[in-house]
Amino acid sequence: MDKQARANHLRECLRQEVMMSSKKFSWFGVLHKAIKCPNRRFHFWWRIASYWHHSDSNFLKKRATKINRNLIFKYGTDIQLGAHIGPGMVISHHQGIVINGSAVIGHSLRIRQNITVGITGANVHKEPISIVIGNNVSIGAGSCIIADKIRIGDNVVIGAMSFVNKDIPSNTTVYSEKTLHVIPNKLHAA
């Protein structure tokens, strides 16, 4: 992505995620909302850090890394700066979120607490890693998307506590079946 396209992407992300308005983008509006609304600060700082991370300046890259470390410490959310996430990301609860830096995610992502989008770590042949998640995807709490090469289509809902390691077509809902077994303890029986 060239410099102008990255700048336009940053402005659109800040307009949707920090200003949360259909009004025209303005730095005054973004800064006002980032200061006034604590729940929008993560988006502001992560988007700035991500923009700086992709710059040519080593100084800005170091600042971006420092900002991201502070965000991980403060919010418990580890979205690596290499990840490309489209505008309109919504994080319901920040704790325990991990997104790998090789992920490419479309617009209007909705994520909840304790989710992981990562790699298996078993890529012994050093094949290119490709984690692609489409537009309008909702990932439920406690879900894991773990693969070195995976594609999740548009308009997908991933249910809570799901484990995904295969491609998912567009316009589908995915969940892992869970069963609860209640077994009485014989230890306390009279």
Q: Which residues are catalytic?
A: 93
Assign 3-class secondary structure to the chain: CCHHHHHHHHHHHHHHHHHCCCCCCCHHHHHHHHHHCHHHHHHHHHHHHHHHHCCCCHHHHHHHHHHHHHHHHHHCEEECCCCEECCCCEECCCCCEEECCCEEECCCCEECCCCEEECCCCCCCCCCCEEEECCCCEECCCCEEECCEEEECCCCEECCCCEECCCECCCCEECCCCCCCCCCCCCCCC
- Tell me if 99 sits within 8 A of 86, measured CB to CB: no
Please, are residues 71 and 42 in contact by the beta-carbon 8 Å criterion? yes
